[in-house]
């Protein structure tokens, strides 16, 4: 029963052990060779990827320290060994087809096409680009999934065969078509709105024209001109109503003036916008169309006049104690001059084109220079007359007249003065004419003054006196005038209605509103006779004349309407 160990048995056992150890060593060496081969292949792939991506030194160092996990190594080994025989399971295909940033499906084209970072995480291209640009610090950009360092140059567009991506090509094209169609629809809607507005304007204009035609037909017999028997040269021609234009439905029109360079009228009116106040409306005198409205004063405009040489400058004054210079070409206020009192009248100086005058409610006249915008140059008192300065007129230099050096003439309600420049000051001279005064005009062509006044205790009629101012060689302090004609205009004059001069053929006419007869009368300066009588339906505030395309026009302004009479 005892086992006897001999030397032969020991030798056999030792040989067996040596063979076992040798086999194990061979297995270890083979396993090491396989691992070395796998590592070498992995190193080659890393180096090739580094060369393709063109990474900098910092990124290369980070890649060399990245050690792939066992699962990835096993999958890569299995893939190399069984390239032709592997059948992917459903779990091997990317099951999550949405961008982890916006949770929307990525596409295979367009802004949200499939892409990945160096770490391998998948995103929509526009989302990861916005993430790296806006959501991360420029010095610390990282993957939103694994927080590994990333940059915009790490973004790689993917073309995955086993990944189901939404084909958005047709969608993108349809989206572009939708945007284009929306723009076209919007433009068509705007065109339709504009067309509707134009239609309403045209319909309103047609209705106004129909009303004008009806009124003209009703007044056809009344518009015939009364012809003076002693003036046979005027028998073949008469004034007829060319146009009637409504300026402001709410009223508020007061004064207007004509610009010969731009052939337009500047008409004062009440504001029709959301802002309370007053401004001017421009009217084209060639086609009789109303143009832009320019807001100027917070209270009523009392006077306005264009500059004699500067074509675009208009001067206006109002009850808001302001005088304004307006550029009518650009529709802007050049400057505003403040005074202490409401202003009633204004004019440009006849001796200096840079100087203008404004007449105040308390009889004071302010002298301004457009080159000095801070304050008035001087203040001319009313010599005891505190009534408003109702009207002023520019008088150019004329050596043979009583205002030889040039200046202006001003009428307060109770007194009338001439102002002639002497050195740097104005020398005032009173004209002893009976008031109360309404208006004063100067005719540069004939060097005539037109001074209008209301009825008084001595004179029961309204009067329009044509006179000349003569030079007094014996006493420069005294003004001498000679009356040429005095036209009587009814026994009532409640309004401060302003007359005007009108040149027709070889004669100059005076046009004035006659309240008692509700008409505009025209007198000839050459003959001293009344030539025409134009009936009007509402009181006339102002009259103005101009010549356009060899046609002479007389224009009357009421509180709401403007009427143009053509002489032909």
Extents of the domains making up the chain: 98-157, 252-494
Written as six digits, the tokens of 375 are 């304050």
**Domains 98-157 and 252-494 in one fold:** no
Whether 255 and 541 have beta carbons less than 8 Å apart is answered as yes
CATH topology of domain 98-157: Herpes Virus-1 (3.30.40)
* Contact by Cβ (8 Å): 326, 320: no
Structure tokens, 439: 């208006």
Structure tokens of 323?
């005088």
Place of tokens 């009217």: 283
Q: Which two tokens stand for residue 53?
A: 């991506």
CATH 2.130.10.10 fits 252-494, yes or no: yes
Q: Please give the structure tokens belonging to residue 492.
A: 């009532």
CB 115 within 8 A of CB 124: yes
User: Before 545, cis peptide (omega within 30)?
Assistant: no
Task: Look at residues 451, 441, 449, 443 and name the one whose alpha carbon lies nearest to residue 415.
Answer: 451
Q: In what order do the strands lie in the sheet with 416-422?
A: 389-395, 407-412, 416-422, 425-431
Tokens found for residue 350: 């006849």
Q: What distances in angstroms separate CA 515 from CA 96, 332, 470, 489, 497, one per listed residue?
A: 94, 37, 32, 8, 9
Distance, CA of 479 to CA of 471 (rounded, Å): 7
Give pTM, 2 decimals: 0.60
**Cβ proximity of 440 and 391 under 8 Å:** yes
Q: Is the dihedral of CA 537, 543, 547, 552 positive or negative?
A: positive
If 0-12 CB within 10 Å is exposed, 13-18 middle and 19+ buried, where does residue 279 land?
Answer: buried
**Token pair recorded at residue 337:** 């001059």
Residue 545: strand pairing partners = 554
Residue 553 token pair: 């026009």
| Partners of residue 116 on adjacent β-strands | 122, 156
Structure tokens belonging to residue 251: 């009223």
> CA of 196: how far to CAs of 190, 205, 210, 273, 289, in Å?
10, 14, 21, 22, 21
Helix (H, G, I), strand (E, B) or coil at 468: strand
Say how far apart CA 522 and CA 556 lie, in whole Å.
13
* Residue pLDDT tens, the chain, 568 long: 444 445 555 566 666 666 656 666 656 566 666 666 656 566 645 555 554 454 444 444 444 444 344 434 444 444 443 433 333 343 344 446 789 999 998 888 889 999 999 999 999 999 999 999 888 887 889 999 999 999 989 999 988 655 565 677 888 899 999 999 999 999 999 999 999 999 998 998 898 888 888 788 777 645 544 444 444 444 457 888 998 999 988 888 999 999 999 999 999 999 887 778 999 999 999 989 999 999 999 999 999 999 999 999 999 999 999 999 999 999 999 999 999 999 999 999 999 999 999 999 999 999 999 998 888 999 999 888 999 999 999 999 988 888 989 999 999 999 999 999 988 889 999 998 988 999 999 999 999 999 999 999 888 999 999 999 987 777 777 788 899 999 999 888 899 999 999 998 889 999 999 999 999 999 999 999 999 899 999 999 999 999 998 889 999 999 999 999 998 7
């Amino acid at each position: 029963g005892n086992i006897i160990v001999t030397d032969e048995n020991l030798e056999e056992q030792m040989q067996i052990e040596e063979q076992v150890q040798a086999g194990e060593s061979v297995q270890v060496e083979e396993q090491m060779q396989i691992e070395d081969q796998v590592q070498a292949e992995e190193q080659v792939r890393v180096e090739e990827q580094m060369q393709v991506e063109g990474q900098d030194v910092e990124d290369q160092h980070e890649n060399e320290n990245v050690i792939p996990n066992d699962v990835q190594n096993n999958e890569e080994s299995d893939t190399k060994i069984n390239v032709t025989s592997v059948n992917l399971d459903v779990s091997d295909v990317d099951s999550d087809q949405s961008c982890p940033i916006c949770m929307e499906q990525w596409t295979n084209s367009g802004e949200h096409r499939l892409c990945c970072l160096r770490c391998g995480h998948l995103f929509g291209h526009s989302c990861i680009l916005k993430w790296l640009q806006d959501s991360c610090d420029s010095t610390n950009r990282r993957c939103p999934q694994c927080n590994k360092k990333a940059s915009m140059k790490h973004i790689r567009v993917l073309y995955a065969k086993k990944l189901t991506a939404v084909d958005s090509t047709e969608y993108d094209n349809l989206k572009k078509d939708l945007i284009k169609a929306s723009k076209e629809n919007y433009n068509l809607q705007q065109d339709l709105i504009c067309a509707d507005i134009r239609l309403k304007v045209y319909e309103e204009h047609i209705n106004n024209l129909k009303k004008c035609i009806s009124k003209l037909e009703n007044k056809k017999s009344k518009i015939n001109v009364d012809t003076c028997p002693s003036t046979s040269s005027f028998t073949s021609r008469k004034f007829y109503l060319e146009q009637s234009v409504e300026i402001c439905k709410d009223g508020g029109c007061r004064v207007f003036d004509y610009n010969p360079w731009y052939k337009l009228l500047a008409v004062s009116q009440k504001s029709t916008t959301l802002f309370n106040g007053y401004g001017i409306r421009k009217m084209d005198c060639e086609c009789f169309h109303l143009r832009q409205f320019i807001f100027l004063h917070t209270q009523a405009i009392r006077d306005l006049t264009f500059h004699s040489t500067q074509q675009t400058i208009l001067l206006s004054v109002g009850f808001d104690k302001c005088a304004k210079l307006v550029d009518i070409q650009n529709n802007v206020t050049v400057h505003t001059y403040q005074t202490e009192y409401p202003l009633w009248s204004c004019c440009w100086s006849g001796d200096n084109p840079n100087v203008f005058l404004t007449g105040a409610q308390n009889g004071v006249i302010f002298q301004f220079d457009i080159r000095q915008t801070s304050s008035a140059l001087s203040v001319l008192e009313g010599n005891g007359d505190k009534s408003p300065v109702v009207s002023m007129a520019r008088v150019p230099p004329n050596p043979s007249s009583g205002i030889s050096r040039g200046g202006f003439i001003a009428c307060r309600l109770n007194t009338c003065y001439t102002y002639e420049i002497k050195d740097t000051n104005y020398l005032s001279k009173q004209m002893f004419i009976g008031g109360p005064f309404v208006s004063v005009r100067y005719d540069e062509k004939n060097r005539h003054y037109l001074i209008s006044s209301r009825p008084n205790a001595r004179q029961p009629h309204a009067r329009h006196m044509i006179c000349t101012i003569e030079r007094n060689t014996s006493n420069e302090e005294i003004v001498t005038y000679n009356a040429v004609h005095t036209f009587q205009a009814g026994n009532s004059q409640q309004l401060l209605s302003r007359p005007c001069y009108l040149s027709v053929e070889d004669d100059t006419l005076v046009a004035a509103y006659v309240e008692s007869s509700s008409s505009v009368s025209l007198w000839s300066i050459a003959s001293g006779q009344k030539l025409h009588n134009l009936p009007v339906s509402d009181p006339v505030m102002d009259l103005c004349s101009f010549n356009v395309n060899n046609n002479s026009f007389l224009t009357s302004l009421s509180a709401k309407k403007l009427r143009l009479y053509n002489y032909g």
